Structure 1
Amino acid sequence: MVPVRLRGHHFLCVLTYRGYGYTPAFVANMSRVVAAIKAGAAVELTEGPDDICNGFTSACREISDHDCSLASTMEMDRTAIASVARLLPDIADKSSAIVLTAERVEALRVAFASGDNRQACKDCSWAEFCTAIAADGFSGTKL
């Protein structure tokens, strides 16, 4: 199975993904990516557009508050990677890919719910939505 490429902040987004997004096409693509991860596809971190934004990069400014080309989005990615790397040191090595086992997802969600790995989310328009999902025990999420 080909590894799924995720940018830093999208790595956090998959933890709370329930099937909502910017457009129906974006949701369909994100659902496909999350399903692949759930089925055992390894994840590798990347800088810039990834498999979730694939096909949407030209429309980022119209569908997202996180334009892929903005310095603030790249900083969001770096912050997310740094916070996740404390729990999963092997994910920080961009030349490797890891499988998100149930144990790893659970550890990431515990840290997410406590705020330990959410520094990258502070300016995200979805932050309150994701906080509510974490408070609800991540019920209804796709991963």
Structure 2
Amino acid sequence: MAVKKSPVRFRPHHFLCALGFQGAGYSPAFTANMSEIVDGQLRGHDGHKTRITVTFVADSICTPCPERRGLGCVKINTIKQLDERHAKALNLQNGVSLTWGDALKRIQKKVPPGSLKTLCQNCQWLELGACEAALTRLHAQATNKD
């Protein structure tokens, strides 16, 4: 019998975090959880069919984060700004449900390479370059399919 996975809930900025995830995080528990979501579900077999519901509070990725406080975060102002910019760029509203495949198409259509320096301003992971590299690969894959 297959184990039913919990529904995936994402804050708007976590769509691009998931795209660029490379196995690093705030703590071992956080990294293991994010790896299960990203590598185990989104990048897994039929991962493009994984349903994600948009939320503006702590989500599936935030669950084990040491900076989470209830449904919020110790960096609430930074997180709120990131979510607002990402929601606007990706046209996401609270409660909307979409597949990971649809999210990738939306990212490819609405977030051009080079835009993360503005979109992800104040993100401590931005300087690592993993998200920008993943965004560039996503655009290259879309171009190769044309």
TM-score between the two structures when normalised by the length of structure 1: 0.69
Aligned residues: 124
* Structure 2: 5+ residue stretches without partners: 139-146
Q: What amino acid is the match of 1:43? A: I
For 2:57 and 2:30, the matched residues in 1 are separated by 17
CA contact (8 A) 2:56 2:94 kept: no
Query: Does the residue aligned with 1:137 lie in a helix, a strand or coil?
Result: helix
Q: What amino acid is the match of 1:12? A: L
* Structure 1: 5+ residue stretches without partners: 62-66, 86-91, 139-143
Query: Does the residue aligned with 1:19 lie in a helix, a strand or coil?
Result: coil
- CA pair 134-128 structure 1, distance change in 2 beyond 3 A: farther
Whichever of the two has the greater Rg, that structure is: 2
**2:35 match:** 31
> How much does 1:68 deviate?
4.9
> How much does 1:100 deviate?
1.7
CA contact (8 A) 2:12 2:83 kept: yes
1:78 aligns with 2:84: yes
Taking only the aligned residue pairs, the percentage that are identical comes to 26
1:6 aligns with 2:13: no
> How much does 1:107 deviate?
5.3
- CA pair 124-47 structure 1, distance change in 2 beyond 3 A: same
**1:122 match:** 121
For 1:107 and 1:96, the matched residues in 2 are separated by 13
Query: Does the residue aligned with 1:53 lie in a helix, a strand or coil?
Result: coil
Higher relative contact order (CA 8 A, sep 6+): 1
Give the 5 Å matches for 1:1-143: 2-34=6-38, 35-38=40-43, 39=47, 40-56=49-65, 59-60=66-67, 67-68=73-74, 70-85=76-91, 92-101=92-101, 104-105=103-104, 108-109=107-108, 111-115=111-115, 119-129=118-128, 130=130, 133-134=133-134, 137=137
For 1:132 and 1:93, the matched residues in 2 are separated by 24
Root-mean-square deviation (CA, aligned residues, Å) is 2.9
